[in-house]
Amino acid sequence: MAPDRAIAGQARPEQEFFCFRAGELRLAVPSENVLEVIRTGLLTPLPRTPSFLLGVTGHRGEVLPVMDLLRFLGKGEARVGPRTRLFIGTSGNYRVGVVADAVLGLRRIPLANILPPPLGGDAAVEHLLGVAEGATAQEAIALINFTKLLQSARQRAVVR
């Protein structure tokens, strides 16, 4: 029995994700891509920008673009209200505020529980690292490759 206990006690490789809800979607990004969560402040719209850019907001002396992830992924649009939060996402030298309807918290997900992204040409699928299994299909969490998503958003904004 000792060998079984040793195997059971071994650390399983895992990764920490910041989990949130956007509309009805349960999403997560690697925690290293999230600086902090803030209340949605005053948004200043910008003319001639893609529809997924809601505008800019001031935060700690910096002007941040604010992104509607639902619009970017083609899954609807965010409804910004008093309970809406932004998470400040980062990749390299770039920072962006991302609208979140609810913050679900940090979660360590064993790599063995991450399924590959589903097949398909959907805009959402091309930005996935995979899907974390849940107890039910409604509890599954789509894991976003935030670096790739931010690169795509920047390209779409420039091409416009």
Domain containing 53: what range? Answer: 22-159
- Average pLDDT in the chain: 87
* pLDDT at site 4: 44
- Rounded (to 5) percent helix, strand, coil in the chain: 25, 45, 30
Query: Could you report the per-residue pLDDT of 102-121, keeping only the tens digit for each?
Result: 999 999 999 999 988 877 76
Instruction: Report if residue 52 sits inside a domain.
Output: yes
Q: Report d(CA 43, CA 36) in Å as an integer.
A: 18
> Is position 2 within any domain?
no
- Total tally of structural domains belonging to the chain: 1
pLDDT in tens, 24-37: 999 999 999 999 99
Q: Checking DSSP bridges between strand 14-22 and strand 102-110, what pairing results, if any? A: antiparallel
CATH number of the domain that residue 88 is part of: 2.40.50.180
Domain-embedded: residue 124: yes
- In single-letter form, the type of residue at position 64 comes to L
Residue 150 region by backbone torsions, left for phi larger than 0, else alpha for psi between -120 and 50, else beta: alpha
Note the pLDDT of residue 58: 93
Asked if residue 56 is part of any domain, the answer here is yes
